[in-house]
Amino acid sequence: MSQDEKLFPDTIVQENYVTFQHEFIEFLVAQLIDFRKVFNGDLDELLVYIFVARYYLREERARGQDHQDQDGYWAAPPTLSRISEFTGIPRETVRRKLIGLQNRGLLEKVDHDKWRPTEKDHVPVIRSEYEEFWAREMRRLVKLVRALKPYA
């Protein structure tokens, strides 16, 4: 195998499959356990929240950078229809989850049918109200990045 072929991510992952799977599964399981607690075991509610939050995280990350949205998924703010379309969750279920997240103070409706994470003092409520969860999430993420850094 040439040096150039070794640089392809799929080759690196194949050659180190057990390490990659182990680190990813450790991260994912711990995240899902914490998310289950925050979202009361409701996977649909979690997916709706993450879908909305992902748009705004990408937007925030792109500020001041020359960052293009290559996949086109995030060109428009999330609406009930887009959330349903991309997650596969029925529209009526998405509507109920959005209202539930709004009632919990985690999401807010902007414009006609666009949603965003609720902020308090310019910080997403989920980060400030679930500070212990957020701190564990950041530690976990750093651990995952450090474990996989030698393969970058």
For 67-121, how does the pLDDT look when each residue is reduced to its tens digit (9 = 90+)? 555 555 556 678 999 999 999 999 999 999 999 999 999 999 988 889 999 999 8
CA distance 56 to 77: 8
Q: State the pLDDT at residue 69.
A: 52
Q: Where are the alpha helices (DSSP H) in the chain?
A: 3-6, 9-15, 17-38, 43-62, 80-87, 91-103, 125-129, 131-148
The two three-digit tokens of residue 80, written as one number? 């009930």
Let me know: does 52 contact 118? Beta carbons within 8 Å. no
Q: Is the pLDDT of residue 36 over 90?
A: yes
Among 46, 70, 41, smallest CA distance to 58 is for 70
Q: Which stretch of DSSP H or E encloses residue 114? A: strand 114-117
pLDDT tier, 47 (very low <50, low <70, confident <90, very high otherwise)? very high
pLDDT band at 30 (very low <50, low <70, confident <90, very high): very high
Structure tokens at 15: 């050659």
What is the H or E stretch that residue 116 is in?
A: strand 114-117
- Our measurement of the distance from residue 101's CA atom to the centroid of its chain's CA atoms, rounded to an integer in Å, reads 16
* Between 76 and 41, residue with greater pLDDT: 41
Q: Sign of torsion, CA 114 98 102 72?
A: negative
Band of residue 5 on the pLDDT scale cut at 50, 70, 90: low
How is residue 150 annotated by DSSP? Answer: G
User: How far is the C-alpha of 120 from the C-alpha of 128, rounded, in Å?
Assistant: 8
